[in-house]
Amino acid sequence: YHITNAFYIRQDNNDRFDVPKLKYIKSAFEIPMEYLRHGDVYKLVIEYTDDNNINPICKYKSDLKFVAQLPSKHDNFLNFKRISIFVLFCLALILLCIVVKWSLFSSKALESIKKVLFSDYRRSPIIQNLKKSSFSLPNQEINTLYTPLEVLEDPYEFPRQNIEIKKVLGVGAFGEVYYAKAYNLNGISGFTMVAVKLLREGAPKEEQTDFLAEIKMFKNIGVHKNVVKFLGCVTKSQPYMTIMELVANGALKEYLLKLREIWIKNKDRRLFFPDDMDEKLLKMSDPKESDYIMRFDADVQTPLLSDIGSRPEPVLDHRELENFALQIATGMAYLEKIPVVHRDLAARNILITKEKILKISDFGMSRCGPYVNRHFKKVPLRWMAIEAIEQFKTDSKSDVWSFGVLLWEIGTLGAFPYENIPNDLILQALKSGARLSRPEICTDDLYTLMRRCWIENPKDRPTFADIVEDFNAKKHVYVDFNRVNPNYVFPPTDPK
């Protein structure tokens, strides 16, 4: 803050006295008033600007009334004695804090603590120092039209020294993801296990901007069971950090590949049906009530620390896969309302808890609302809609296209889309009408939904709300392992 003018007015005759020069003492200032008379009422006026305000013409003004009480020599001595005792007490308290903190934190953490102790950006220094004035203020009046606004503290900003990095969980586009301990997170005493995305050192300005944009978007998302939870961030100094809910039980892609291994083992052991089985027995029967889509309990909690690193038990059950599709659609329907465009929806970016609750993650490419990409970066080409590849335009309908590909990944137990088409021919193939073929375990109902997601005109595709309603309303089996011939070979999981 920068003071531009200061003066005081005697109330009985409106005489004005300018303050020629303020004396600054550390973070406070002294206002010399040479023309005070004991017992008279005065009004002090201070005009100033905010150096952090981007608008140079924005000025603030504060005024208050006071009764001048001129101290006697005895009062001066008592005041000096009181101030000396107070200063000595503060010095002793600060020294004690430094000794305690030194034993708990590194030297870099101490530097951050000093900044917090000796700089209070949340309140106007002018108001603070006026409150500390020794004047008697029986009729204090503040002009609310000129009272400076308090700077609100970001509730998501978290102290860097309260994070203890443990080990790497994975590598992302901006840097590495660690699992870590966060001390006193959201008022919870002790340590909370979290996932921390750390922007790599020396990241270019563009990556720093994208990283901060991702954090800003997370603050708009809120909380949903099927979306990984944003817990906090570190943005006051570099390297920047994003603090997320820890879901360390692997991704859906890994789970699907485990199911594929189980399928292969069961096929080799002839646990499905022998080659000489009567063909009539291979016909599908009408689905029973138990074959309908399995609903999930909304109150199941995120796994505890003891579950970190463990993997959910894979089960070859069509109801479970249908439930997975419903969970993902439900999470995306929530994002669709905000609106947030994910832009990288795929099985690799869906985390799974030990209780098999799916959580949409990896929002590094996400944006709020429709978005036109002007930067040429690596993109998930085989999961992208035609308009996203050709015109760089993305919205919730382009996420619907990606969801159709994700359904295909589930139906093929983790296969690689368009494995026979090179990258430079993907767009040409899609525009000519080529689409992924129906997986063997998918019924016609589910493949029809996939095809609706892949309609070329985005307006003709369903919304995620439509998809959730479709899953909830229809009494059909969408995935059925019983219809798969044991000699069937699932598409490859890696590009040729």
Residue 298 carries which DSSP code? Answer: T
Does the annotation flag 280 for ligand binding?
Answer: no
Amino acid identity, position 297: D
Please pick, among 210, 344, 395, 399, the residue that the annotation labels catalytic: 344
Query: Read out DSSP for 270-297?
Result: T-S--TTS-GGGGSPPPPPGGGSPPP--
CB of 335 within 8 A of CB of 222? no
Burial bucket for residue 121 (CB in 10 Å: 0-12, 13-18, 19+): exposed
Contacts of 351 (CB under 8 A, 6+ apart): 228, 247, 249, 250, 251, 252, 358, 359, 361
Task: Give just the sign of the alpha carbon dihedral 231, 251, 378, 384.
Answer: negative
Q: Are 303 and 355 in contact (CB under 8 A)?
A: yes
Task: Output the six-digit token pair for 481.
Answer: 């392992």
How far apart (Å, rounded) are the C-alpha atoms in residues 357 and 220? 22
Catalytic (active site) residue 344 = yes
Report which of 491, 488, 487 is spatially closest to residue 420, judged by C-alpha positions: 491
Closest CA to 356 of 196, 195, 226: 226
Q: What's the number of CA atoms in the CB half-sphere (13 Å) around residue 272?
A: 19
- Structural Rg of the chain based on CA atoms: 32
H or E element, residue 247: none
CA–CA gap between residue 34 and residue 20 (Å, rounded): 10
Q: Which residue has the tokens 């002839």?
A: 270
Q: Any residues with CB less than 8 A from the CB of 19 and at least 6 apart, and which?
A: 6, 7, 8, 31, 32, 33
d(CA 420, CA 404): 19
Spatial strand order in the sheet of 191-199: 163-171, 175-183, 191-199, 241-245, 230-234
Q: Which residues are annotated as a binding site?
A: 197
- Binding site membership for ATP: which residues? 197
Query: Which residues are known catalytic residues?
Result: 344
